[in-house]
A and B are shown apart, each in its own frame.
Chain A
């Protein structure tokens, strides 16, 4: 469904953030992207919806090749890719409802969005999504009044109301406490299953990734170092991705927590 071929990104500074990454993601697969800071995880995600312009290589979403699209065509394709951000990236001075409806901007003409006169179907869907994440009563609150976990739920609604085929998720739990992190990860994965969405989730927390996803990609300085099921993340593999460290504790802890959570 999503296919990256020899994707390269070289920044103006000469840093090569991505070195010919090739990746194939089938329909409905939830994938975790792990790797040390600076490995190119964020760049990879942003090259897919072209918030960052890739230097070379191709990205196919379904049958459409994204890297060569004109700006109008790119906007139409961006509607099929919902994005969830590290620091939530809600527009803080807008209400929760405005933030959710901003996911429909690609579908409505300017005058509707400017006057906040969205089609009734969009408004209904927004309420449905907010209700699904337990925030329907918050619709008219300003986004900056919410807690971190609540904001990320609104961010999830904003991505889903686009009716996407793919979710791009950039460090969804980086600024959340451990419990909220799990709830958010669980919510994202449940929603992906419900709607049959594919997702790429950038994540620092290896243990959390192992709990929720079907496939893990390890990125190291812009190249794919590991591609396999979460059980394949042995201490040796983690060392090859992150460098030497005592990994036994990390992996064992996961098992303990997993049982506790069940």
Chain B
């Protein structure tokens, strides 16, 4: 703009010839080094407290070897009836829990997005999410097995409950980061709230909702294999039984099947996500 005056020139000449460094994230040097050294010291101390009993590890290696060897010879046949029944139960649990969980998550996600919901609704929905996320699946399953008894009903309820915390939280975050102007344009046309959600918000978050749902189905299936360990039915119950009987070949067969199903779901989700983008 205007010609540089003398003050500018002296300011510039003071800067020239000086090396340039990116300003440090923590400005105070002593604080920065205290943080770095303190963390390093803590790490060393923490690792030192982990006790390793090498003779126990040596014994365990033998058992581990048997387990791994069983994979070279998985037995699908001897317990095929149990495996089939467990697999069907797991899949039913997964599908039913995912559908119910996702259906409940969507309104909660809307309520938990600050740019869509008023403050009281927001707080309620955020608390529901917090409770669902704080209680780990296994803990919920133990409680529900105590209430509803052994079997897939407890598993189904556990997975539905866990789905809500997962899906509602991530979907709400996507809603909060949506493009405000697109939604504003719909509001400006005189749309009512439901129409605003349907036209202004839903199209923006749909790919994320579909991607998350498929991912959650995947998780639910894997969880259904764990929940059987605490009596909540599914393939996990079959797996648990085979471990109890030291039938590692059957256990190996079950694990291979689980891996195959998860891989199939992964493949499927890739295809679907590519299509909805």
Contact = CB atoms under 8 A, between A and B. Distances in A.
A153 interface: no
A226 interface: no
Interface string B180-204: 0110111111111011101110011
What's the dominant secondary structure at chain B's contact region? Answer: helix
Contacts of A114: 194-195, 198
Interface in A110-142: 110, 113-114
Contact of A103 (B179, B181, B189, B206): B189
A106 B189 contact: yes
Contacts of B179: 92
Interface string A45-80: 000010100000000000000000000000111110
Contact of B199 (A49, A105, A107, A155): A105
Contact of A49 (B182, B188, B196, B198): B188
Contacts, number: 86
Contact of A83 (B188, B200, B203, B204): B188
Interface residues of A, number: 33
A85 B191 contact: no
Question: Which residue of B184, B189, B194, B206 has the most chain A CB atoms within 10 A of its CB atom?
Answer: B189
Q: How large is the interface on B (under 10, 10 to 19, 20 to 34, 35 or more residues)?
A: 20 to 34
Interface string A158-183: 10001000001000000000000000
A102 interface: yes
B230 to A, nearest CB: 42
Interface in B82-101: none
B186 A91 contact: yes
Contacts of B181: 85-87, 89
Given A94-B203, A105-B199, A83 B190 contact: no
A114 B198 CA distance: 7
Contacts of B206: 93
17 contacts: A51-B187, A75-B191, A76-B190, A78-B188, A83-B185, A89-B181, A89-B185, A91-B182, A91-B204, A92-B179, A92-B203, A102-B186, A102-B199, A105-B186, A105-B199, A107-B190, A162-B190
Interface of A: 49, 51, 75-79, 81-83, 85-87, 89-94, 98, 102-107, 110, 113-114, 155, 158, 162, 168
* 6 A-B pairs closest in CB distance: A106-B190, A105-B191, A78-B190, A89-B185, A79-B190, A93-B203
